[in-house]
């Protein structure tokens, strides 16, 4: 089969990001407004789109990590997951019609926000690929954008069965882009790729042991899926290792601490907003989030010189406080008027206090290993 001349008809077979997106664009007549509106939201808790200084990123020289880099690129070039992200006979029918309405709402919210997050990576990586002149950088970002386009396409397949889909073309044009300097992109994307891996593999292992809780077939695809995210995280670990200042300087250690705190506490709040979804999975949210933090922290020792002390009792209580502030904020927004405004100010102050409390928990120091590369081991 000659894949170069035969255009793919499914995103799973697309070998470039452009091809993957063109297929999704052609399906966009099915897109639904409500899902796109949800994906368009820009709150602290919804996935954002990012832009950066692409020239600075393009100027990176990967020579200091060349051996590891070439090995990782070869693995990504071989494309072990080509064709994987499509429905097969393993895809069980989902009875969306008769699903408990609250569960359905939370499951759709989960799928839409996952799709937006996948697509956010896709858009950022594709832009770097397009603007790059550095062959190493262009190659990396072409593989990562290819993968994310498939991931988003597959979630869109699942959503379409429920009668909804996210209009990715519209999102690309209309969603607000947040600017981050390249080093912040490294911290944020590295963490989101590794957390993505930890989340997917934790759910996959849990459902492997408890298949009766697998209420949607997409979870069966999570093992190969999380391996893609793991590799993407490895690439960012290597990029950070090209220059010790990126992770080791005093100011950057504080930034890493900031990003860890923000990413962990946001995940806690976001997951706790989906009680029915986790109940259906048979997952205790507190346990699940702590487990994901633990795995992510273990992995991140490959590159970060500090880690959050998640076993400090202040960590749990800080996350819980943050969650209460988020719930109060939602209630205040719904109330509106002067009472709502006062409620929002109070909730905002509470959230800021909770964040400061989390941020000031003493961190654990970590000596980063000589050898940066890891394999997915969970
Ligand atoms: Fe992805
Ligand atoms: Fe990824």
Query: 27-41 pLDDT, tens per residue?
Result: 765 567 777 777 776
Nearest ligand to the CA atom of 149: 1
Instruction: Check whether 175 has a pLDDT greater than 50.
Output: yes
Residue 122 CA to ligand 1 center (angstroms) comes to 8
Residue 169 CA to ligand 1 center (angstroms) comes to 18
Q: Which of the two residues, 364 and 34, has the higher pLDDT score? A: 364
Residue 370 CA to ligand 2 center (angstroms) comes to 25
Q: Which residues contact 25 (CB under 8 A, 6 or more apart)?
A: 168, 169
Nearest ligand to the CA atom of 229: 2
Buried b (16+ CB within 10 A) or exposed e, 278-293: bbbbebebeebbbbbb
DSSP state of 302: T
Residue 193 CA to ligand 2 center (angstroms) comes to 5
CA–CA separation, 147 vs 375, rounded Å?
18
Q: Which two three-digit tokens encode residue 357? A: 């409390």
Residue 376 CA to ligand 1 center (angstroms) comes to 15
Instruction: Check whether 249 has a pLDDT greater than 50.
Output: yes
Residue 17 CA to ligand 2 center (angstroms) comes to 13
3 state DSSP class of 47: coil
Residue 317 CA to ligand 1 center (angstroms) comes to 31
Nearest ligand to the CA atom of 192: 2
Nearest ligand to the CA atom of 234: 2
Residue 356 CA to ligand 1 center (angstroms) comes to 31
Residue 78 CA to ligand 2 center (angstroms) comes to 17
Nearest ligand to the CA atom of 125: 2
Q: What is the pLDDT of residues 256-282, one digit of tens each?
A: 999 999 999 999 999 999 999 999 999
Instruction: Check whether 211 has a pLDDT greater than 50.
Output: yes
pLDDT given for residue 31 in this prediction: 61
pLDDT given for residue 45 in this prediction: 61
Residue 331 CA to ligand 1 center (angstroms) comes to 32
Cα atoms in the Cβ-side hemisphere of radius 13 Å centred on 200: 25
């Amino acid at each position: 089969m000659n894949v170069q001349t035969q255009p793919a008809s499914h995103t799973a077979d697309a070998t470039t990001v452009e091809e993957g997106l063109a297929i999704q664009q052609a399906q966009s007549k099915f897109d639904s407004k409500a899902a796109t509106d949800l994906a368009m939201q820009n709150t602290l808790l919804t996935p954002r789109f990012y832009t950066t200084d692409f020239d600075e990123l393009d100027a990176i020289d990967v020579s200091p990590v060349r051996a590891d880099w070439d090995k990782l690129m070869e693995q990504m070039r071989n494309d072990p997951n080509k064709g994987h992200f499509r429905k097969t006979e393993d895809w069980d029918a989902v009875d969306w019609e008769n699903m408990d309405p609250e569960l359905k709402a939370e499951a759709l919210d989960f799928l839409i926000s996952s799709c937006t997050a996948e697509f956010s990576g896709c858009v950022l990586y594709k832009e770097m690929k397009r603007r790059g002149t550095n062959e190493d950088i262009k190659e990396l970002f072409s593989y990562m954008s290819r993968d994310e386009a498939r991931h988003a396409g597959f979630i869109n397949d699942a959503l379409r069965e429920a009668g909804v889909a996210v209009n990715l073309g519209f999102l690309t044009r209309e969603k607000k882009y947040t600017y981050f300097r390249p080093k912040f992109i490294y911290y944020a994307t590295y963490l989101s790729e590794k957390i993505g891996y930890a989340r997917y593999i934790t759910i996959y292992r849990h459902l492997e042991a408890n298949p009766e809780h697998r209420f949607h077939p997409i979870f069966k695809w999570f093992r190969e899926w999380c391996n893609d995210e793991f590799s993407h995280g490895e690439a960012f670990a290597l990029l950070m290792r090209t220059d010790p200042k990126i992770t080791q300087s005093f100011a950057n250690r504080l930034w890493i601490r900031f990003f860890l705190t923000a990413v962990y506490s946001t995940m806690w709040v976001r997951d706790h907003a989906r009680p029915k979804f986790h109940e259906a999975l048979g997952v205790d949210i507190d346990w699940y989030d702590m487990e994901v933090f633990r795995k992510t922290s273990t992995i991140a020792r490959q590159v970060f010189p500090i880690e959050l002390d998640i076993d400090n009792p202040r960590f749990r209580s800080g996350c819980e406080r943050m969650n209460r502030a988020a719930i109060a904020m939602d209630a205040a927004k719904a109330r509106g008027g002067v009472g709502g405004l006062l409620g929002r100010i109070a909730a905002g102050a509470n959230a800021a206090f909770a964040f400061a409390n989390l941020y000031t928990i003493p961190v654990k120091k970590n000596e980063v290993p000589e050898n940066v590369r890891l394999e997915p081991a969970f």
